[in-house]
Structure 1
């Protein structure tokens, strides 16, 4: 979740429609004659990995929506390993961020050199990185999507098109995954997929890290996290902590009204006021809201890390864009202010996506995990909403014991985190990690991921 962009939701400005069109030559193009087509390029010469890969666009020409994808086959057993669909958060942040910063096959150094990632999730699964909603990353479209529900419909259509065009992957188990605002996107996408009885997607599970899912509950834990009650020393003074505490009841009332009415103006107002009173004090003080244990390197737009600028420079190289088949997008930016503003103005930030989690749990298991140094989507709030989720397994989940997460060999003494699971729902806390838990603890989160897709905590 990008709070520097969230502040844009305070400005009541009109959104300009994106009038870009998608033209140009491609290595391979095919469609169904109904306005949907796939453009496919082979970017292997870029040296990101040696596995089979493809990139390009999943097009809906009738709606003028063109979602960019980059697919990597599993390094292990691509004929049997599952397929992970990865969606970045934001809203409006590119999945290329996680490809090169977190769980993809390579990292980009400050010198723009590629180095293999030994803990890439492609070591155990094939991964489809998708830039969505439209006008995110290398994706583009005429009409801007402004809600998680709308975005989920586009993702469902794109994934269905991908599996139809590449039938060799159609029988794979599918896990939908992401981080940050993917706490909205992933529940919405899972619910959308499961709503289609005639689907060809074999959805196996959903998982997301440091997500924004239940705004009502999450908002209750900004003050405790910033003021010393989340396992990190207080980063604000007593007067600021008291001001946040005093603002909490009104914020709760506003979000509850959004939950009750669903009205755009009500939800937008809740986002605006709660952002200013509960999130603003940390970001506005120049603190690292993505990891309270670390200083902010760079700026909030780069998530207080120095890993984003080299990714941006590498992806904007002419030879990289040509190899990927990029078309109609002049420049790759890690996040789109336009997309984020559209979601902010629609009130989507404050809508109750935990309801989609409860619905999804009727058919698939769900894992929420969180680095415990994050402020913006902190572990206290994620633990609280999973504990309080209204679903048939609530009592069993409430009785479940929290257990230590340890690697089978090596790892930190005492484990790298803790997990609670029952009935298909699991919540994991990752120690000494921030908003991007995969970046901060790559080996630990890789262990969690591989065990999750193997079904260790997914028993329903």
Structure 2
């Protein structure tokens, strides 16, 4: 009897002791650890985790993440969420082609894995980086309820906020770390809407408390008028149309192009669009590649990432990856249903292929059974094949202009960096520069060059309320892909609250 009481007392003490263990000691879930990365033969310089977080257990709505610990000091370095756009595009775009921990090289033989080496410009040099496939139906994320694939800006922000709250519960050791939200292209909508939800949650006392500090947006969709009116001046400024064409369209459209309906204005706009049709929309400096595949239209174009792989010949279909945004020149951001890239390409080009893009490396790696198993992702038999940009979802832009949200966030004390590759014709820097200026904030850092080493990396202007606008010289739509060293530099400086 006495021994039993003693044993029970010891058990009770053990339970009470466990109850008072600091959250930081409990650590990340062991089941999420990525023990090895197929295609990589070295030693990982930091820990990797991946898996699913349920944002609606009733519907079976599961969002997939890949988390890369910092190579610096994971315990104190910021946590940065990364979101690719589309809508409908996987954030493995950023992981594989932009700022992830690895550089991916094409497989030496068909059906073999790409070769992975360490990326010297990975963003986890400076932060713990969390890549998220969002919304459900994108990448490895899925739902057991088909109706969940009809969604929009506001629901996506709600789901991603729910994801973050549960993720920080699973990784409590990171709750005190500074937290930032980042993304590019259509994530110009995702980032501010999610940031607003996080900020409102903090104010309302939602637990766990996220130590949210600010956000970054690259070549991001923001506002239908600013985005739509930015393209023609950009085209002219880059020398792609004549001064007469520019004067004619200005006169015909009264200087506004985003919502044109008048016949003469539309005719002038169509002349301009036809003039730049053969230019790489994602980086006007990049030459176009014309594959010899009979399954593609002759004017399908691929940028630098395809040419690194070498020319592909023969009749087989070439799968291509997109650089982030679902709007070509003719479709500025407007309220209502947003076409995904596959549906848009079918309508405009009579093809499911996206111009200027190649996703074969990502496609071959993320659809390999060994990779899906290593990353704790559901099998293709369960949720279908991984696609860089999917047509599975029906998506609505229902959040309106982002400018009021940016104003709310920056005047509430959150830091913001709005950056633009200055040779992107898809979401030109001219629009981002215009809307940041339109906020009317006092200029605290006059327009000037910023440097990496002794070289001009771009130009920047700083505003009151911790708002910074910056260009990256010579870069296209996906800045870390085109200018990795410069991207890592501004990323590190922004996280450290240093001026560019």
TM-score, length-scaled by structure 2: 0.71
Distance 1:216 1:241, change over 3 A: same
Corresponding residue of 1:171: 176
CA distance in 2, matches of 1:236, 1:84: 43
Corresponding residue of 1:332: 386
Corresponding residue of 1:396: 442
Deviation per CA, 1:276-325, whole angstroms, max 9, x where unpaired? 96899269824211001112346475236666211111111110011112
Question: CA contact under 8 A between 2:422 and 2:475: conserved in structure 1?
Answer: yes
CA distance in 2, matches of 1:282, 1:388: 31
Deviation per CA, 1:28-81, whole angstroms, max 9, x where unpaired? xxxxxxxxxx99433331166441111111113123311010001101101110
Distance 1:44 1:225, change over 3 A: farther
Question: CA contact under 8 A between 2:229 and 2:256: conserved in structure 1?
Answer: no
Corresponding residue of 1:147: 152
Matches within 5 A, 1:119-134: 119-134=121-136
Among 465, 477, 486, the residue aligned to 1:435: 477
Q: Give yes or no for the alignment of 1:51 onto 2:53.
A: no
Distance 1:289 1:237, change over 3 A: farther
Unaligned runs of 5+ in 2: 1-28, 108-113, 290-299, 303-319, 323-354
CA distance in 2, matches of 1:44, 1:302: 28
Distance 1:218 1:279, change over 3 A: farther
Q: Give yes or no for the alignment of 1:83 onto 2:79.
A: yes
TM-score, length-scaled by structure 1: 0.77
Shift of 1:422: 2.0
Q: What is the count of residue pairs matched by the alignment?
A: 386
CA distance in 1, matches of 2:36, 2:473: 38
Corresponding residue of 1:377: 427
Matches within 5 A, 1:262-273: none
Question: CA contact under 8 A between 1:240 and 1:281: conserved in structure 2?
Answer: no
**3-state SS of paired residue (1:44):** coil
Distance 1:244 1:422, change over 3 A: closer
Q: CA RMSD in A?
A: 2.9
**3-state SS of paired residue (1:67):** strand
Corresponding residue of 1:360: 409
CA distance in 1, matches of 2:387, 2:276: 23
Distance 1:358 1:39, change over 3 A: farther
Among 216, 220, 227, the residue aligned to 2:229: 220
Question: CA contact under 8 A between 1:41 and 1:323: conserved in structure 2?
Answer: no
Shift of 1:250: 7.2
**3-state SS of paired residue (1:293):** coil
Distance 1:248 1:123, change over 3 A: farther
Among 294, 315, 321, the residue aligned to 1:302: 321
Deviation per CA, 1:240-264, whole angstroms, max 9, x where unpaired? 995697457675457xxxxxxxxxx
Unaligned runs of 5+ in 1: 1-37, 255-268
CA distance in 2, matches of 1:206, 1:99: 18
Q: Give yes or no for the alignment of 1:453 onto 2:462.
A: no
- Which of the two has higher C-alpha Rg? 2
CA distance in 1, matches of 2:390, 2:255: 32
Question: CA contact under 8 A between 1:235 and 1:292: conserved in structure 2?
Answer: no
Question: CA contact under 8 A between 1:87 and 1:129: conserved in structure 2?
Answer: yes
